Structure 1
Amino acid sequence: MGILQRRHVLTSGGWTLVADGPPVATRPARGTRPRNRRQLIVDAAAILFAERGYNDVAMSDVAEAVAIGPSALYRHFRGKHDLLTAVISHAVGQVETAVATSDSALPATLATAAMAQRNVGVLWRREARHLTANDHEAVRKLARQVGDRVAERIRDRRPELGPTESQMLAWCALGVANSISFHALTLPEPAFTKLMTKLVAVPLEARVELSGTRNASSPGATHSRRETILAAATVLFAERGYAGVSIDDIGAAVGIAGPSVYNHFTAKSDILSAVVFRGNEWLWMRFNQAAADASEPAEALRAVVCSYRDFAFDNPHIVQILLSEMAQLPADDRKRSSDAQRAYIDEWVHLVRQLQPDWSAAEARIRVQACQIMINDIVVTRRLRDQPGVATVLKDIGFALLAVQHDVSPP
């Protein structure tokens, strides 16, 4: 599913990324007044928000990271919401500037920009929900500008594409580029940059035909109160975030008093755990069925890609929760879920390497993560997932990212 595994540690020399990643600001010595203090604050906050999540970061944590007192921090930012807005706006804005000003080919531009702002994907997908309505709309417009610029550059090279087709490919390419935001995988340079440039080029050159109709899935009716609560909570957690939903909100969504929810679940966290474990189990069931029906590895990998795509389209709210709410699980449940997700990705990697034995485990995993996270990015954005023909586009790009040949099966 794409798990955030990057880890920074605070040493006497400043913030250091364990594994690889973009350069980060070194913490200044106490008592100094660096001219770029505001940017140092933004850089430190970006790391903390990405690592711990917005709710688990205090302004005092950020102040400590840049060796200033909390009162000095408030001279630059009114509060944590103001700081988060600055962090996400800066990350997205840097990508927009790179796309707008770079003379390099588009795949290299996007790959380099994503590597320089490696937190941007997780900050936007997971933490932007904490912004105020006005700030969220402003950042959303900035993100749309990135997509518009990428789409414009695609049409410069492929004038036969219309605006809708170029937008779809633009967001697929951005999903591939930003997939590195959700993991700590790397390769020695320049191999890592070359690989990411190659992967970003895949959707930019993909065949795209957005036509026909798409049969949207709808949840079946249930007479079980527990299932009704789970279904309602899934939507609420996905749309508002776990911390933004109360037991009373869940009760109101199903027409009962909030405390009545406790007749079915002992705590709100139990509801989240049930949603997450159900999503993981459904993924495994679909994987096992797809692999069991295949006669050879290429057929199995094609079926697995399609099974993941279909799961995501059928369960966009669960995908959003798996992307953004894992940190809210109780510690034991979080470990169990993370272990299940890692094992799931391992199975993909095993299939891929049967077909491409020359690829290292790291390269295979980077490609798998790019495929999965690209699909995630499209399905959690309603205007994209509702486009007719999008399922075939994602299948084609997914196959190409994993270098598996097409067959003649239906899309």
Structure 2
Amino acid sequence: MSKHDSAATPRVRPRDRKQRIEHAAAAAFSRRGYHAVSMQDIADSVGISAPALYRHFPSKYALFVSAAMLLVDQLAVVTADAAELPLSTEDEGRVALGELIRVVADLTIELRATSGIYKWEGRYLEQADRARLNAGFQLNGDRFIAAHRSYRPNVDELERVYMALGTFAVFGSISAHDTILARPRLRALLTTAAWDVLNVDVSTYLSHTSPSADTAGEGGPAGGGPAVQSSTVEGSAPAGSKAAASTAAGSTPPLSRRERLLEASVRLFGARGYNETTIEEIATEVDLTPSGVYRHFDGKHALLLAVYERATQWLYPHQTEVEGSPLSPVDLLRSLIRAYIEHSFRSPELMRVFFAEKGNLTPQELRGVQASQAASLQAWVDCLLDLRPELNTREATVLVHAALGLITDLLAILPRFDDEAMARLIAFTDALLGIGPASESPDTQ
């Protein structure tokens, strides 16, 4: 072939280029966050120029919306056939649920690297786009609920919603970690966990709680802790106002200015995102000038690091607190679960910052956060392996992440932090981890 002929040969554009761009963008946004990813980054990952990328998507936001809808749109497609199955009997409900579980497990495994985008980055969607995303998840949730209603007709309808959300939390949890497991084994593990969530009997656990619905705002499980609506750092006063210290007047010492700055940062980073928050806004929250903030922290990034330090100390207790514990493996694991639930309820915004803003840490800072997290997760894994020796370390790790994901997702819809909420979440985590009912509860079999 002559040089002229070679130059004249038209370049073939892949027919699936747009889909490849969407997948690359979803993976990048999931891993690093919306603000940390540029259009050039995505173009480079696909092997095209930035101008070529803009021919498919006019803006970064347009690409973000398309990437965010990737999972929910495909879920609607793969669950459509199962949604048409008959649901006249319990057996038919079980068959339909089995098919829904199968297709959703396969899809989430296939899109594992991309499916985390909706969970922490969805706040950057505009209202109409967020409504469209939520409607998509509602459609898929309704399909599970309809099948489950035939399968277990006597379950309370609100409990059924929790079960459906918990099932999606199990599947979505694999986007939060990189544990490598052979695809057939991962599918089998997720399938069993999903059935365990859909079969959970919460009533036994609830029957052992004291009535607390009317006093939930006055304390959490075991007689302490603020209501779920309160967003606090290290158990301090609710962070819902600028004068957080004044809410504790007459009961606890006022917060230091440094603590108030941390509280304000957690609240603003959690609600708006680190990149959308300015030092000026943080200063205003605590009645300081921007220069006053710098007397306590070197800048916004230093505040973010302080928030991460607080989160790792609070959400993930040090390994030394677990080593040498006189508790049995099941009681130790359940104590870790209870502590995580309590801390998660007390500061959902701190949780949001911890999981959503890792893309704004340097590689060295991220390694430190991950090391602290891994040490605590290992305590969960070790306890689970003692209780379930048929599992290997990777399988136990997958289940622990599923339990953490379920707690995080359910706390977003449970109305308050009380004994009933704690009992419900422990029932779900017990079932998912396969560790049976709590020792103080009668056997549910």
TM tier relative to shorter chain = 0.7 to 0.9
Partner of 2:166: 172
Task: List alignment gaps of at least 5 residues for structure 2.
Answer: 1-9, 83-95, 218-226, 231-235, 238-247, 249-253
Partner of 1:68: 48
Which structure: larger Rg?
Answer: 2
SS at match of 1:242: coil
Residue by residue, what CA displacement relative to the aligned partner does 1:171-207 show, whole Å, maximum 9, x if unpaired?
A: 1111111111111223224222111111111111112
- The 8 Å contact of residues 121 and 182 in structure 1, kept in 2 or not, is answered as no
Could you state the TM-score of these two structures normalised by the residue count of structure 2? 0.78
Partner of 2:298: 266
Q: Which shows bigger deviation, 354-363 or 98-107?
A: 98-107
- Structure 1 pair 287–343 and aligned structure 2 pair: CA distance change class (3 A): closer
In 1, the alpha carbon distance for the partners of 2:423 and 2:114 equals 27
- Structure 1 pair 370–130 and aligned structure 2 pair: CA distance change class (3 A): same
Q: Which shows bigger deviation, 389-398 or 177-186?
A: 389-398
- Write the mapping of 1:36-185 to structure 2, written as runs, cut at 5 A: 36-102=16-82, 104-119=98-113, 121-185=115-179
- The 8 Å contact of residues 24 and 45 in structure 2, kept in 1 or not, is answered as yes
- Structure 1 pair 50–31 and aligned structure 2 pair: CA distance change class (3 A): farther
- The 8 Å contact of residues 31 and 359 in structure 2, kept in 1 or not, is answered as no
- The 8 Å contact of residues 22 and 67 in structure 2, kept in 1 or not, is answered as yes
- The 8 Å contact of residues 315 and 344 in structure 2, kept in 1 or not, is answered as no
Partner of 1:281: 313
Residue by residue, what CA displacement relative to the aligned partner does 1:364-385 show, whole Å, maximum 9, x if unpaired?
A: 1111111111111222x2x335
Instruction: Indicate whether 1:31 and 2:11 are aligned.
Output: yes
| 1:268 to partner: Cα distance | 0.8
Q: Which amino acid in 2 is paired with 1:246? A: T
Residue by residue, what CA displacement relative to the aligned partner does 1:235-278 show, whole Å, maximum 9, x if unpaired?
A: 11111111111111111222222332112111111111111111
Instruction: Indicate whether 1:195 and 2:186 are aligned.
Output: no
| 1:291 to partner: Cα distance | 7.2
- Structure 1 pair 121–90 and aligned structure 2 pair: CA distance change class (3 A): closer
- Structure 1 pair 255–152 and aligned structure 2 pair: CA distance change class (3 A): farther
- Write the mapping of 1:201-216 to structure 2, written as runs, cut at 5 A: 201-208=195-202, 213=213, 214-215=216-217, 216=227
Partner of 2:371: 339
- Structure 1 pair 189–143 and aligned structure 2 pair: CA distance change class (3 A): closer
In 2, the alpha carbon distance for the partners of 1:285 and 1:183 equals 19
Q: Which shows bigger deviation, 64-73 or 342-351?
A: 64-73
In 1, the alpha carbon distance for the partners of 2:271 and 2:179 equals 29
Q: Which amino acid in 1 is paired with 2:38? A: A
Partner of 2:436: 405
In 1, the alpha carbon distance for the partners of 2:423 and 2:76 equals 28
- Structure 1 pair 33–120 and aligned structure 2 pair: CA distance change class (3 A): closer
Q: Which amino acid in 2 is paired with 1:187? A: L
Task: List alignment gaps of at least 5 residues for structure 1.
Answer: 1-29
Partner of 1:394: 425
In 1, the alpha carbon distance for the partners of 2:195 and 2:386 equals 24
- Structure 1 pair 289–44 and aligned structure 2 pair: CA distance change class (3 A): closer
Match of 2:348 among 298, 313, 316: 316
Tell me how large the CA RMSD over aligned residues is: 2.5
Partner of 1:22: none
| 1:294 to partner: Cα distance | 4.6
Partner of 1:376: 408
Partner of 1:20: none
- The 8 Å contact of residues 248 and 259 in structure 1, kept in 2 or not, is answered as no
| 1:292 to partner: Cα distance | 6.7
- Structure 1 pair 254–151 and aligned structure 2 pair: CA distance change class (3 A): farther
- The 8 Å contact of residues 301 and 404 in structure 1, kept in 2 or not, is answered as no
- Structure 1 pair 298–387 and aligned structure 2 pair: CA distance change class (3 A): closer
In 2, the alpha carbon distance for the partners of 1:315 and 1:136 equals 23
- The 8 Å contact of residues 121 and 179 in structure 1, kept in 2 or not, is answered as no
- Structure 1 pair 135–308 and aligned structure 2 pair: CA distance change class (3 A): same
In 1, the alpha carbon distance for the partners of 2:311 and 2:321 equals 16
- The 8 Å contact of residues 313 and 385 in structure 1, kept in 2 or not, is answered as no
- Structure 1 pair 407–72 and aligned structure 2 pair: CA distance change class (3 A): closer
In 1, the alpha carbon distance for the partners of 2:126 and 2:100 equals 33
In 2, the alpha carbon distance for the partners of 1:361 and 1:81 equals 40
In 2, the alpha carbon distance for the partners of 1:336 and 1:189 equals 30
- The 8 Å contact of residues 305 and 399 in structure 1, kept in 2 or not, is answered as no
In 1, the alpha carbon distance for the partners of 2:414 and 2:80 equals 23
In 2, the alpha carbon distance for the partners of 1:114 and 1:60 equals 27
Partner of 1:349: 381
- The 8 Å contact of residues 126 and 323 in structure 1, kept in 2 or not, is answered as yes
- Structure 1 pair 119–260 and aligned structure 2 pair: CA distance change class (3 A): same
Residue by residue, what CA displacement relative to the aligned partner does 1:340-394 show, whole Å, maximum 9, x if unpaired?
A: 0011111111111122223111011111111111111222x2x335387332221
- The 8 Å contact of residues 26 and 115 in structure 2, kept in 1 or not, is answered as no
Could you state the TM-score of these two structures normalised by the residue count of structure 1? 0.85
In 2, the alpha carbon distance for the partners of 1:343 and 1:290 equals 10
- Number of matched pairs: 379
| 1:234 to partner: Cα distance | 0.5
- The 8 Å contact of residues 173 and 200 in structure 1, kept in 2 or not, is answered as yes
